[in-house]
Amino acid sequence: MPAARVVVLDHGSGNVRSVVRALEAAGARVELTADREAALTADGLVVPGVGAFAATLEQIQSVGGDRLIERRLAGGRPVLGICVGLQVMFDAGDEHGERTRGLAQWPGEVTRLEADVVPHMGWNTVEVAEGSTLFEGLAEERFYFVHSYAARRWEMEQIGSLLAPRVTWSEHGGDRFIAAVENGALTATQFHPEKSGEAGARLLANWLRTLPRYNAEETA
pLDDT tens digits, 187-210 = 999 999 999 999 999 999 999 999
Q: Is the dihedral of CA 215, 39, 182, 30 positive or negative?
A: positive
Which of 143, 149, 146, 139 is CA-nearest to residue 123? 143
Q: Residue 15's pLDDT is what? A: 74
Those residues with Cβ within 8 angstroms of residue 60's Cβ, 6 or more apart along the chain or in another chain: 9, 11, 47, 49, 66, 69, 88, 103
Catalytic residue among 83, 120, 147, 182: 83
pLDDT tens, position by position, 85-129: 999 999 999 998 899 999 999 999 999 999 999 999 999 999 999
**Residue 30: HSE in the Cβ half-sphere, 13 Å Cα cutoff:** 21
C-alpha span between 24 and 146 (Å, rounded)? 23
Q: Residue 111's pLDDT is what? A: 98
- At residue 159 the predicted structure's pLDDT band, cuts being 50, 70 and 90, is low
Can 70 be counted among the known catalytic residues?
Answer: no
pLDDT tens, position by position, 15-72: 799 999 999 999 999 999 999 999 999 999 999 999 999 999 999 999 999 999 999 9
Catalytic residue among 120, 141, 172, 194: 194
Catalytic residue among 120, 147, 172, 192: 192
For the segment 155-174, the average pLDDT, to the nearest whole number, is 83
- At residue 164 the predicted structure's pLDDT band, cuts being 50, 70 and 90, is confident
Distance of CA 196 to the CA centre of its chain: 14
Q: Residue 148's pLDDT is what? A: 98
Can 192 be counted among the known catalytic residues?
Answer: yes
Q: Residue 219's pLDDT is what? A: 37
Residue type at 133 in one-letter notation = T
Q: Residue 157's pLDDT is what? A: 73
Which of 79, 11, 83 is CA-nearest to residue 52? 83
> What is the percent of the chain with per-residue pLDDT over 90, rounded to a whole number?
88
Which of 8, 71, 82, 17 is CA-nearest to residue 40? 71
Domains and CATH numbers, the chain: 5-209 (3.40.50.880)
| 197-209 and 16-25 helices, crossing angle to 10° | 70
